[in-house]
Amino acid sequence: MVIAAKLSRFARQQEGTAMVEGLIVFPLVLLTFAAFFEFGYAVFQWNQTVKALQAGARHAAVSDPLISDITALEGAGAAGDPVPAEIVSESCGAGTSPCESGPMNRLIFGATAAGTDDECGNAAENTIPGMCDFNTRIGASNVLVTYYRAGLGYVGRPGGPVLTIRLEVKDLNFDLPLVGAILGLDQITIPAHPVTITSEDLCSTSSC
């Protein structure tokens, strides 16, 4: 009877109930806020990657080709002949053949008045911002560059063949330091988001 009475009194006790409930709910609330924060951070990374590709494509249109030999894309024929309409493409970077290191560094890091930059995050200081000035995690191994011949221009054009350039990102994951690690979502790949633009002079110097 004594034990039963003590158990009955214990069951009616309310002290500490709020603390116990708080300890149960707090991790769930914390995880929810962390998920909202990291979702916003993921959207930010997504947006910065798209901006980096847009800037990179515009830069590539007026820079030295990232492929060592693009003569095959111009097409055979006498100077002044129309470029063949047959679509031909060549790619470099991100799992294909390596791109030319100089033009790729210029694309990734940007350019100053003195030449190619050598680090990320200098968009305000660069004459031409690089892709990693928008997303510092983008490197040469993440960028796939494809040149297309699509019938534009003419053979022997002084500025080089008029090509279509496509940039896309490969093998670049979202950075989700908390929720990603807890839930195993730290290997989600950012979509390729290809950006296409028509080339201009394909030359990085003012003498082009």
Does residue 23 register a pLDDT over 90? no
Other beta carbons within 10 angstroms of residue 166's beta carbon come to 20
Distance CA(117)–CA(26), nearest Å, equals: 47
Nearest-angstrom CA–CA distance, 91 and 83: 20
3-state helix, strand, coil in the chain (%, to 5): 40, 15, 45
Other beta carbons less than 10 A from residue 182's beta carbon: 13
The 10s digit of each residue's pLDDT in 120-146 is 877 677 788 899 999 999 999 999 999
Can you read off the two tokens belonging to residue 86? 């047959």
Alpha-carbon gap, residue 89 to 9, rounded angstroms: 82
Q: Which residues contact 12 (CB under 8 A, 6 or more apart)?
A: none
User: In the prediction, which pLDDT does 30 show?
Assistant: 79
Residue 88 phi/psi, 5-degree rounding, is -130, 145
pTM: 0.79
Q: Is 108 helix (H, G, I), strand (E, B) or coil?
A: helix
Token reading at 43: 């959207």
> How far is Cα of residue 102 from the mean position of the Cα atoms in its chain?
20
pLDDT averaged over every residue in the chain: 82
The CA distance from 14 to 26, in Å, is: 20
Q: Kindly state the tokens that stand for 198.
A: 């028509």
Question: Which sequence spans correspond to the domains of the chain?
Answer: 12-198
The CA–CA distances, whole Å, from 59 to 67, 104, 187 equal 15, 11, 30
- Asked whether residue 7 carries a pLDDT value surpassing 60, the answer given is no
Dist CA 191 CA 171 (whole Å)? 9
Confidence of residue 157 (pLDDT cuts 50, 70, 90): confident
Centre a 10 Å sphere on the Cβ of residue 154 and count the other Cβ atoms it contains.
16
Write the pLDDT tens digit of every residue in 32-89.
Answer: 887 788 888 889 999 999 999 999 999 999 888 999 887 778 777 777 788 887 888 8
DSSP secondary structure, 8-33, as one string: HHHHH--TTHHHHHHHHHHHHHHHHH
